[in-house]
Chains A and B, each alone.
Chain A
Amino acid sequence: MKRELAELTVIKTGPGTSIQDLGRIGFSGFGVPVSGAMDAFAMKWVNYLLGSSENAAVIETLQPGLKLQFNAPTKICVGGALAKIKLNENLISLDKVIPVESGDILEIGAQTLGAINYIGIEGGFQTDEILGSRSFYQGITSISQLSKGNNLSYFKGKSSSITKGAKVKISRDYLEDEVLEVYKGPEWRFLDTESKEALNSSTFTLSKLLNRMAFQIEELVPNLLQEMATAPVYPGTVQLTSGGKLIVLMKDAQVTGGYPRVLQLPEKSIAQLSQKRAGSKFRFKIK
């Protein structure tokens, strides 16, 4: 039986709010970025708590200030950054399954730790699935970010007053951790000692240029390498430009690139970095 759909309406949002699941897996051969939740760790927790599938679509916010109104009952769960979350003006807890009723208003307020929140909903958001994923991406989904007035479909649920999830304690230590575990990229071995040393022991600062495609780093690293023949890149690939700029590719990154790939972040470090704000300090721990 097909479940009846309901809708929520975006009343207010900052830039960069989108629908994400685990991304478009297996389409890189057509030049299609993988996309998907930047902090896949937090996103999977939200779905786990709701009892949804791991890949269920959630809302990803890159800034505080999102305000939503539901038009039918369901259950939601908010995870990710430590933030003030309000349902109808009352503070609610993160990592808890919260019942909502028709007309309820959810607000994501100021964040005290971390940068990204995930709003999961029972059964996942039912936006269009294109090339195996509902993740927003310009030119693939009809919109690339949410704006005021947009409606999102979800499964209509029953009214309920039961709040679940009180026993789960999710560690947020990773949001504060300034050490990112990374691997050597394919071009690491061509770097000279000075550049290697800089990557190994410098404290870096995240610049203001942060989006779902890439995060740029303030400090420059000496670089004598030339651009190279275009080669595969992945979310988490750290490119070193000819000007010495470090660019960490994130989930919406293109699938190939021409800058030397000096480091590679594993999924855990991508999640960790994605939760840092402009100006945050961090170091690489090279494996």
Chain B
Amino acid sequence: MMPSYFQITPTLSEFHWDMEVSDELLQRQLALKVKLEEKFQQEIIDIRIGFKSLGISWKKEMLIDRWFEKNEIDFQSITLSSKIWKIPVCYDEAHGKDLLSLASSKNIEPQKLIHLHSTPEYRIHFFGFLPGFMYLEGLNPLLHSPRKKIPELSIEPGSVAIGGSQTGIYPSASPGGWHIIGQTPISLFDPTAFPPVFASPGDKIKFISIDKEEFNELKRNPSKPSYQ
């Protein structure tokens, strides 16, 4: 399926795909991104990706609808990454204060919730919301949960949470309305490094359940996450 093209302002434009969020769609978005960066490297300020869209900021007025109509993009030109990052998460109540209430609202054992959350491999679609926040796809529908009616004023960095049909990790302290079910001791965003994040859109992540002692040990001796 071809995306539609929309010119927002003379220097902002957007492609939109009217299809379900999937690996296939992400592959199309990333293939188009590569192609645009190849062709318009000098003209582009940056490219932002959403679940179903791709936005371009241009240095100067730019219309590329004609170019897009004439040039077939080979959406098979890239394959999605096979990297799977292992993210240690402590699901203990001390680190996941909403775990018990969320499990009980779903009528499942806390252990079952942890199992359902740490079994899938989640695909990273893009970064947004906060520096280093990964938008992940793949949460088990059994764990989908409406956001809290009143957001918390401050959520600790590293908090692993569920909101709506998504799960994510707060990279920095922030207000937020998601249910906190655990915490990772690893750092998700380092502004002094380049790139400031370890993973890329298209990679996958998997949550590895750790106990409080392992959490504290990893806090004392921080290490970068590994992948397979």
Contact = CB atoms under 8 A, between A and B. Distances in A.
A234 B171 CA distance: 21
Instruction: Give the contact-size bracket for chain B.
Output: 35 or more
A186 B55 CA distance: 10
A112 B135 CA distance: 45
A28 B129 CA distance: 10
Given A139-B189, A186-B6, A186-B14, A229 B50 contact: yes
Interface string B151-171: 000000000000000000001
B50 A28 contact: no
A140 B201 CA distance: 21
Contacts of A232: 14, 48-50, 53-55
B78 interface: no
Interface of A: 25-33, 130-131, 138-140, 183-186, 229-232, 234, 254-257, 264, 266
B195 A234 contact: no
A229 B128 contact: no
Contacts of B32: none
A256 B46 contact: no
A230 B46 contact: no
A198 B55 CA distance: 27
B46 A183 contact: no
A28 B50 CA distance: 12
B8 interface: yes
B55 A32 contact: no
B131 interface: yes
A230 B50 contact: yes
Nearest to A229: B51
A259 to B, nearest CB: 12
B45 interface: yes
Contact of B57 (A139, A186, A234): A234
13 contacts: A29-B49, A31-B189, A32-B131, A131-B196, A139-B131, A139-B189, A186-B8, A229-B50, A229-B51, A231-B14, A231-B51, A256-B129, A266-B11
A254 B129 contact: yes
B197 interface: yes
Contacts of B173: 139
B192 interface: yes
Interface of B: 6, 8-12, 14, 16, 21, 45-55, 57, 126-133, 135, 171-173, 189, 191-192, 194-197, 201
Contacts of B171: 31, 139
Given A131-B196, A232-B53, A266-B9, A29 B46 contact: yes
A140 B131 contact: yes
Contacts of A230: 50-51, 128, 135
Given A229-B52, A256-B50, A31 B127 contact: yes
Contacts of A131: 191, 194, 196
B157 to A, nearest CB: 9
Contacts of A257: 128
Contact of B8 (A26, A28, A264): A264
Given A139-B189, A231-B53, A256-B126, A29 B131 contact: no
Contacts of A255: 48, 127-128
B129 A30 contact: no
Contacts of B48: 28-29, 232, 255-256
Contacts of A25: 45-46
Given A26-B45, A28-B46, A29-B47, A264 B12 contact: yes
Query: Top 9 closest A-B pairs, CB basis?
Result: A256-B128, A231-B50, A232-B55, A232-B48, A31-B127, A229-B51, A139-B172, A140-B191, A231-B53
Q: Give the interface centre of B8, B173, B201 by most chain A CB atoms within 10 Å.
A: B8
B34 to A, nearest CB: 13
B130 A234 contact: no
B16 A138 contact: no
A245 to B, nearest CB: 15
Given A230-B50, A232-B49, A30 B55 contact: no
Nearest to B10: A266
The interface centre, meaning the residue of A33, A185, A229 with most chain B CB atoms within 10 A of its CB, is A229
A98 B91 CA distance: 59
Contact of A229 (B21, B46, B201): B21
Contacts of B9: 183, 264, 266
Nearest to B129: A254
A184 B12 CA distance: 11
A256 B8 contact: no
A31 B131 contact: yes
Nearest to A26: B46
Nearest to B135: A230
